[in-house]
């Protein structure tokens, strides 16, 4: 009788599970704090490796920091992220100086993606209603960036956005909604300027 009753009880989600499911979660949860501390330690090591000779060392740190990577991954220091483990990048990835990825949700970046300096990719968000927001719990929405994408300098990619293959986003753009494949898009908010013949 007790066993049957126990089976009927749904297991309560951890704050990490809530975060990755796009539900309200408490960022001050001890498991999440521990994960962020791990990322800070690896970022310190990554950002100290500043010469061309340090590239191989940086690749090793990125392999430990990121959830998955291709073989050819270059991130110029300084670089910052929340967890690292929710970032998944493909082959031939390049990210220039002073970029930020807030990876409270999964960030998928395809093959041969180039990011200019100061690119910011934000999965993190908060409730729009102030009375909910001030309670503290946060939200996150996954981001997907396709293959052969170029994000110009200073581009901001907002939570929940998908950018299609072969697309270029102009410098300084704020990407607030999905952008299709094979286009040049720019502006704030970012919008399609023209189609690029693949």
- So which residues are the catalytic ones? 126
Kindly report the length of the chain: 198
Q: What is the DSSP letter of 179?
A: B
**SS3 category, 28:** coil
What's the CA gap between 32 and 16, in Å, rounded? Answer: 7
Number of helices (H) and strands (E), helices first, in the chain?
Answer: 5, 18
**CB 198, CB 168: distance < 8 Å:** no
**CB 82, CB 118: distance < 8 Å:** no
């Amino acid at each position: 009788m007790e066993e049957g009753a126990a089976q009927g009880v749904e297991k309560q989600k951890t704050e990490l599970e809530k975060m990755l499911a796009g539900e309200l979660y408490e960022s001050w949860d001890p498991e999440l704090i521990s994960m962020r501390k791990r990322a800070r330690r690896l970022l310190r090591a990554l950002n100290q490796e500043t010469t061309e000779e340090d590239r191989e060392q940086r690749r090793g740190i990125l392999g430990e920091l990121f959830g998955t990577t291709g073989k050819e991954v270059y991130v110029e220091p300084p670089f910052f992220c929340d967890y690292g483990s929710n970032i998944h990048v493909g082959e031939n990835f390049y990210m220039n100086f002073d970029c930020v990825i807030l990876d409270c949700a999964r960030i998928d970046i395809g093959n041969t993606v180039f990011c200019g300096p100061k690119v910011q990719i934000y999965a993190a968000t908060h409730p729009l209603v102030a009375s909910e927001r001030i309670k503290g719990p946060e939200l996150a929405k996954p981001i997907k960036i396709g293959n052969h994408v170029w994000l110009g300098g200073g581009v901001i990619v907002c939570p929940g956005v998908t950018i299609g293959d072969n697309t270029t986003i102009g410098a300084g753009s704020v990407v607030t909604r999905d952008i299709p494949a094979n286009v040049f898009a720019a502006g704030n908010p970012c919008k399609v300027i023209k189609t690029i013949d693949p």
